[in-house]
Amino acid sequence: MIKKYYQSLNSLLYGPFMTPLVFLVFALAFFYQKKGIQELRYAMMVGTAILGVILVMYYTKKFKISRALKSIRNIEEYEKGGVIDRSWILNDRMIACIGLDMHEESTMDIQVMKVEEGKHGKLTIYLTNKEKTFSLSCRDKGEARRFAGYLQKRNLNIKLENIQPEGNGTLQDLGAL
């Protein structure tokens, strides 16, 4: 299910551009055949080139998502875990996702959690462990607070910035089964 979820997000991202463009190219081809106007032929070529670029971007992103998902061990276990926006959380690890860029990280050794508000009220959570800082997106402050409560229960020494924890600190607070 998780694999289909991320592939569907990719399709939703590119679908609104590809579908109308295909219809436009076919309409231009139809009218070019009927009328023989040379400008329609040029417009059809430009539309086809744009469609080709979009298809290359779509399949490149699809390949990257597929490769990232294959590197995640026991991905089926995440279906029983909690969810924050596009990230999935288990007791010992999580799929950290921002946009469609995802990777697996441990939840055990997170030292700092920082929350920043971005465009249109979208929140970004920055998590720092021993090796690096990585980020994940969040829908609202309540979700970020519950995630902070969960991380604080797992690690009492975690430093929280711009956020106050709430909830019981369980995966059920994050929507787990």
69, 38 in Cβ contact below 8 A? Answer: no
In a domain, 153, yes or no: yes
Q: Judge whether residue 14 has pLDDT over 90.
A: yes
* Domain final residue pick, 13, 47, 70: 70
Range of the domain at 24: 2-70
Average pLDDT, the chain: 91
For residue 106, pLDDT over 90 is answered with no
Residues 86 and 56 in one domain: no
Percent of the chain having pLDDT more than 70?
A: 100
Same domain, 167 and 105: yes
pLDDT per residue as tens digits for the range 134-173: 999 988 899 999 999 999 988 888 999 999 999 888 888 8
Strands 159-161 vs 112-117: parallel, antiparallel or unpaired: parallel
Alpha-carbon span 48 to 43, nearest angstrom? 9
Domain count, the chain: 2
Q: Judge whether 62 lies within some domain.
A: yes
Both tokens of residue 63? Answer: 């390949």
Residue 162 backbone class (left: φ over 0; alpha: ψ -120 to 50; beta: rest): left
Please indicate, yes or no, whether residues 92 and 63 belong to a single structural domain of this protein. Answer: no
